[in-house]
A and B are shown apart, each in its own frame.
Chain A
Amino acid sequence: AQKVTQAQTEISVVEKEDVTLDCVYETRDTTYYLFWYKQPPSGELVFLIRRNSFDEQNEISGRYSWNFQKSTSSFNFTITASQVVDSAVYFCALSDSWGKLQFGAGTQVVVTP
């Protein structure tokens, strides 16, 4: 069975601080896919990144960066120099080869001015 754990329920930071969201996953598949989605207060889930299990390269996109470590089954997400617009719930998700997503519980990020 697949499982995604986001142990942090809520993280509060002041604007311009960095924030790291943890994601730990469990799967018996040798090939799997990891995702991060952002859900702002409006409710729509926004796709942020996708990572295949055979590609352990870390990625940076603007203020966002992701650290994929197969050895610890983690796929952590860092927002650098946070802004108020980053306030949202962030979901980590795991997919098998069929594309069915298993979501974590989500982490609420609150950025205050």
Chain B
Amino acid sequence: GAVVSQHPSWVICKSGTSVKIECRSLDFQATTMFWYRQFPKQSLMLMATSNEGSKATYEQGVEKDKFLINHASLTLSTLTVTSAHPEDSSFYICSASHRSRPEETPETQYFGPGTRLLVL
């Protein structure tokens, strides 16, 4: 249980184009999903918290107009990198919160396999 998928796993695009990454919880509903960015040999950096049906909460320093997040349903959140540039090349990982027991608070984050973005 608690499987999270991401699509695509790899994307190469030209500078100036927009890229959409999907994050899906496959066997549970997730009220909250998170988007992270990870540079090589570094830790995960939280970009934003996405709640179903409401606007995402962005971390300090993350441009909300650059990284558009939509959490349209309890199983799907999308991250759109608008007008991508080479410096946006990175590994993007999403997570979805899931409660393995009814009394578990807060929920545990389960991660997707990640999306490697390369902007040429």
Question: In this assembly, does A77 line the interface, its C-beta being within 8 Å of a C-beta of chain B?
Answer: no
Q: How many B residues are at the interface, by size bracket?
A: 20 to 34
Instruction: Tell me, in angstroms, the Cα distance from A88 to B97 when the chains sit together.
Output: 23
Pairwise interchain contact A43-B43, C-beta atoms closer than 8 A: no
Q: Which residues of A contact B95 (CB under 8 A)?
A: 45
Residue of B nearest to A42 (CB): B113
Instruction: Tell me, in angstroms, the Cα distance from A79 to B106 when the chains sit together.
Output: 27
Q: How far is the CB of B62 from chain A (nearest CB, A)?
A: 14
Pairwise interchain contact A91-B44, C-beta atoms closer than 8 A: yes
Pairwise interchain contact A91-B108, C-beta atoms closer than 8 A: no
In this complex, how many residues of chain A approach chain B with their Cβ under 8 Å: the count is 22
Pairwise interchain contact B114-A100, C-beta atoms closer than 8 A: no
Within B66-120, the residues touching A (CB, 8 Å) are 91, 93, 95, 97, 105-114, 116
Question: In this assembly, does A64 line the interface, its C-beta being within 8 Å of a C-beta of chain B?
Answer: no
Question: In this assembly, does A97 line the interface, its C-beta being within 8 Å of a C-beta of chain B?
Answer: yes
Question: In this assembly, does B19 line the interface, its C-beta being within 8 Å of a C-beta of chain A?
Answer: no
Instruction: Tell me, in angstroms, the Cα distance from A37 to B114 when the chains sit together.
Output: 14
Instruction: Tell me, in angstroms, the Cα distance from A106 to B43 when the chains sit together.
Output: 6
Question: In this assembly, does A66 line the interface, its C-beta being within 8 Å of a C-beta of chain B?
Answer: no
Pairwise interchain contact B111-A98, C-beta atoms closer than 8 A: no
Q: Which residues of B contact A101 (CB under 8 A)?
A: 34, 44, 46, 109
Answer whether A99 and B32 are a contact pair too, CB < 8 Å, given A33-B106, A91-B44.
yes
Pairwise interchain contact A35-B112, C-beta atoms closer than 8 A: no
Interface residues of B (CB under 8 A from A): 2, 32, 34, 42-44, 46, 49, 91, 93, 95, 97, 105-114, 116
Q: List 19 A-B contacts (CB under 8 A).
A: A37-B111, A43-B93, A43-B114, A43-B116, A45-B44, A45-B95, A46-B111, A47-B108, A47-B110, A50-B108, A91-B44, A97-B105, A99-B32, A99-B107, A100-B49, A101-B46, A101-B109, A105-B42, A106-B43
